Structure 1
Amino acid sequence: MTGYADYLFLLSPPEEVKLEIDRYKRASARLIGQYASMNSPAHISLAQVERQKPFFADSTIQRMELGFNTIPPVQLYIDGFKYFTHLHNKHTIYAAIRITPAVDEWLISIRKVLGIKKAIIPHITVVRNINVEYFNTLWPHFRHKQLVMPFFVSEIKVVKRETFANQPKWEAYKTFRFGGKIMTVVNNLK
């Protein structure tokens, strides 16, 4: 043990969403071969905190539970696919989460509890950090897909890994349930 840990705060969609995203991951692998995020389970990353002393981080994370209890569960919608462009001409293709004023307010509440100022772009990664050649092969298959899937999120998960391990692996650490009434987002289809 090096004495430092990394923490990832995430939302885990229900099994039917995970299976659908996995279907797109496997189809992508058939076209471009194996890639780094191929076996990662579908999730929405909210924040990653790196290189923390666990005895400090543990108490901070435990205090966050009170804040999460004031945030209601929410209904989110996957609404098609988009992509990020990274340095060195790399791309990430993801299932986009529909942003409405209600979802935006919900995310602001999450940011306050997590103590982050940066905006969150909620998404579920399908193919992460691939070169432009692979992106050009895959994007035509995603560009016009009309995947729309509603799902409820009722908890936030925290996973943890040792910072300086030879092959660090994320492991379940804590799960906090959202409290309050369920927040249903009005379905504003285009």
Structure 2
Amino acid sequence: MLSYADYLIVISLPDDVKNQIGRYKRASAKLIGEFEGIKRTPNLIITHQVRCKPFLVQPAIELMAKRISTMPPIELQINGFGNCSKGYNAKTIYTQIAADEKVNNWFRLLNKQIGLKTPNAVPHIPLVPNIPLTGFNKLWPNLVSKPLITSFTVNSLTILHRDTFAEYCEWTLYKELTFGNRLLAF
């Protein structure tokens, strides 16, 4: 039994979307060299909770599963790339989720149902995380002009976990939470 665990809540992507993002990652590595996260499976990250007591988290996840089951699935569209600063000397490049009122409302409801208080969180899929500015300046002009437009349906929320204190511990599937079984108009 784990004394402390880290939990990562993500929206898993369909294989065709993972493959498209993987091609962009490999092309980026050819231009700037290896980078952190090149082999990481692309996911839409919702939250990362560290150093949690499993006996406290597990009942919360069961309650979360009940709340999530009342939410409808949603169709999301990836529409190009964005970037954000990570301190003074690094940036992250990510794929952007096209946001309209329906998508924003769905993510607000999701955050409420799982108990997150991040009102301005931008849903995105990390492509090239934490690269030095020199690598960013070389890569960004090539990506900003490349269109990546695809869509996918979100049917579930994936919860991954790992031992907080184990060295080189991989994320493993803890639980898959399923949304309601029909698409609704908001």
Q: Same fold (TM over 0.5)?
A: yes
Q: Can you give the 5+ residue segments of structure 1 that lack an aligned partner in the other structure? A: 186-190
Q: Report the CA distance between 1:111 and its aligned residue.
A: 0.4
Normalising by structure 1, we get a TM-score of 0.93
CA contact (8 A) 1:94 1:125 kept: yes
Aligned-residue identity in percent: 37
1:70-109 alignment, distance < 5 Å? 70-109=70-109
Match of 2:139 in 1: 138
The alpha carbon displacement at 1:30 in A equals 0.6
Q: Which amino acid aligns with 1:100?
A: D
Alignment of 1:93-132 (within 5 A): 93-119=93-119, 120-132=121-133
The one-letter code of the counterpart of 2:106 is W
Residue 61 of structure 2 is aligned to residue 61 of structure 1: yes
Please report how far the alpha carbon of residue 88 of structure 1 lies from its aligned counterpart in structure 2 after TM superposition. 2.7
Determine the C-alpha separation between the residues in 1 that align with 2:153 and 2:35.
Answer: 29
8 A Cα contact 2:2 2:54, kept in partner: no
Q: Which moved more, 1:68-77 or 1:164-173?
A: 164-173
Residues in 2 aligned to 1:167 and 1:173: alpha-carbon distance in whole angstroms: 18
Q: Secondary structure at the match of 1:88?
A: coil
Aligned residue pair count: 185
Contact 2:156 2:177 in 1 (8 A): yes
Rounded Cα–Cα distance in structure 1 between residues aligned with 2:173 and 2:77: 25
The Cα of 1:183 is off from its aligned counterpart by 4.0
Give the counterpart letter for 1:60 in structure 2. Answer: A
Q: Residue 7 of structure 1 contacts residue 49 of structure 1 at CA under 8 Å; is this kept in 2?
A: yes
Shift of 1:108: 0.9
What value does the CA root-mean-square deviation take over the aligned residues?
Answer: 1.4
What one-letter code is carried by the residue in structure 2 that aligns with 1:86? Answer: K
67-76 or 115-124, which moves further after superposition? 115-124
* Equivalent residues of 1:75, 1:184 under 8 A apart: no
In structure 1, the residue matched to 2:52 is 52
Aligned to 1:149: 150
For the residues of structure 2 that align with 1:25 and 1:16, how far apart are their CA atoms? 14
Q: Name 2:23's counterpart in structure 1.
A: 23
Ranges of 4+ aligned residues in structure 1 off by more than 4 Å: none
Shift in Å, 1:184: 6.6
Tell me the secondary structure at the aligned position of residue 88 of structure 2: helix
User: TM-score, structure 2 length as denominator?
Assistant: 0.95
CA distance in 1, matches of 2:150, 2:103: 15
Query: Which stretches in structure 2 are left out of the alignment for 5+ residues?
Result: none
Q: 2:166 is paired with a residue of what secondary structure?
A: coil
User: What letter matches 1:6 in structure 2?
Assistant: D
For residue 165 of structure 1, report the CA deviation from its aligned partner. 1.0
The whole-number CA distance in structure 1 between the counterparts of 2:88 and 2:163 is: 28
8 Å CA contact retained: 1:2, 1:165: no
Shift of 1:2: 5.8
